[in-house]
Structure 1
Amino acid sequence: MKILLPLLFALVPCFACVAQTHHAQWNAAIEAFESSDRANPPPPHAVLFIGSSSIEHWKSVVADFPEVNVINRGFGGSELGDSTYFADRIIKPYQPRAIVLYAGDNDLYDGHTPQQVRDDFAAFVNKVRSFDPGVAIAFVAIKPSMARKALLPKIKQANGLVHDYAATQKNVTYIDVFTPMLAADGQPQPKWFIEDGLHMNRTGYELWISLLRPWVDAHGR
């Protein structure tokens, strides 16, 4: 035990280094956001769309919700913990009226458990609420993509856990895009996706717009 304890304490900084290295891959993307903000300050109290590539690739999101001010701060390949880690730089400065988050997809692909996805979303909520206790937050369900069909059971479980967690929180909403994207047999449908089977085409985004618009209208004005 005398030998093991110093070894365990020595490993703690190593785990921290691994986490910092993971987040560091997004530094250029975050700096690009900050540079853009300095050149063209975004509107305050907007609806902030944040998360992974499904948000980053949504280039028309501002035009798709013309009734409210929208900011897109998606960075492709990111996980839930990345949005939490950079929250002080790409959430707090905007003082958003509401936040739409899509993440968790890459987390499961990288081996995280459904429970970790739920816990990482809870950590995101806690972080954001630390500087804005009243902001409305919507979690867009992890989509059932063709490319990650093998992960469907874990996606269902993660979505269910996040849904149950959101139900216990004030002003936190689970937006179910998962169920409408499934075929009648409960399997992913290719019609929502581009050739890679992972990223959505315009038809997929139009479905998301129809599902998100009531929440965005209610919280974005």
Structure 2
Amino acid sequence: MLTLICQGSSFALHKMATGLRKGAKLNYKLMNEQGISLDTKDNSDNNDDQVAEDTRKDSVFSPVKSKAQKSNASSAEDDGKHSLPEEVDSDDQEIEKLQRELETLEKDEAKLKKIKQKEELRQKVVRKRDEVKALRDVRRVCIMGDSIIKHLPSIQGVSIFAFPGATIGKLSFLVDSRAVPLADFNFVIIHVGTNNIANGHSLQHMSSDFANLVASIRKFNKDIAIIVSSILPRPVDHSHTKSTVQQFNFHSQDYLASELNFKFIRSYRPFCFRGDIKRFLFAKRDGGLHLNSEGSNRLRFFFLRVISTLT
């Protein structure tokens, strides 16, 4: 009996399942006719395939790019193509700006160099003017006369012009002939007259010649200071010229110096002692016509003392 019941139950279940299958088929058929798709397996498979394909496309290992990526890349290339000329234009503008600035600086530099050069030259001119002025202010002395000063030892900064045998008149002629460049000096010491005494010229004659000599000197240099050295007594003719020598020296000191505006110096003093001549200061070979070496040194020393006081 149990067997029959089990068989009956199996049959019933089988029949129920068969009915369910038939019903499902019928529903599926009706839904297809109405356009409703129930193929979930196929859609799922398709969706899975799409996701897998997108995943492969997005992978860094995939050589294939999406349309969006291709679009972005193309846009970036286009941006690069457009930005490059802009950068080049910007560089050109900056170069042009720097070039203009450089040209401006070079012009400023040239101007400043000229200003500096002018200032340096101005300073040099000022210094040179001071140097020239100092040289002009320095004592520029010359000594001119007859053979008595021929062997005079040199004096630093002093020029000596000796004319053997010269008289006062002859020296005046030499000055007029510009044998002495008087324009180069601001002091002149004159030592002349011994030959006038030897030739027997009178005091009046000698005074007149001296006035002419002073005028000739000032004609070439009106600002020159004139210093007149006294006539020296000489052993060779002292016995008959002593009086004339003394008279002319005193006349020059007391009268001519004031009238002709010169300074008289008593250079005879180193050569006399109590009215007598110091014969040892004169040359023996010519009988005392000229000074010997010691006598020339004494006269030089006397002139040197006078020059040191000149201002």
Q: Helix, strand or coil for the counterpart of 2:161?
A: strand
Q: Which residue is 2:188 aligned to?
A: 99
> Does residue 116 of the first structure (1) align with residue 205 of the second (2)?
yes
Q: Which residue is 2:297 aligned to?
A: 206
Distance in 2, Cα, partners of 1:144 & 1:71: 25
Q: Deviations over 1:152-196 (max 9, x none)?
A: 0000011111112113444x1111122331122x12221110112
Q: What TM-score results when the alignment is normalised by the length of structure 2?
A: 0.51
Distance in 2, Cα, partners of 1:162 & 1:129: 18
Structure 1 residues 99 and 112: CA distance shift in structure 2, 3 A: same
Q: Which residue is 2:265 aligned to?
A: 175
Counterpart amino acid of residue 264 in structure 2: Y
The structure with more radius of gyration: 2
Q: Helix, strand or coil for the counterpart of 1:90?
A: coil
Between Structure 1 and Structure 2, how many residues are aligned?
170
Q: Helix, strand or coil for the counterpart of 1:127?
A: helix
Structure 1 residues 206 and 198: CA distance shift in structure 2, 3 A: same
The list of structure 1 runs, each at least 4 consecutive aligned residues, that deviate by more than 2 angstroms after superposition, is: 43-46, 91-95, 167-170
Q: Which residue is 1:53 aligned to?
A: 147
Identical pairs, percent: 24
Higher relative contact order (CA 8 A, sep 6+): 1
Q: Which residue is 1:155 aligned to?
A: 245
Q: How far off is 1:206 after superposition?
A: 2.5
Q: How far off is 1:143 after superposition?
A: 0.4
Report if aligned partners of 1:49, 1:99 keep a CA contact under 8 Å in 2.
Answer: yes
Distance in 1, Cα, partners of 2:210 & 2:166: 13
Query: Tell me, which stretches of 5 or more residues in structure 1 are unaligned?
Result: 1-42
Structure 1 residues 93 and 154: CA distance shift in structure 2, 3 A: closer
Greater share of helix residues, 1 or 2? 2
Q: Pick one of 170, 175, 190 that aligns with 1:82.
A: 170
Segment of structure 1 superposing worse, 174-183 or 72-81: 174-183
Q: Deviations over 1:62-108 (max 9, x none)?
A: 2xx22xx2222111111011111111312346522211111110011
Report if aligned partners of 1:145, 1:189 keep a CA contact under 8 Å in 2.
Answer: no
Q: How far off is 1:131 after superposition?
A: 2.1
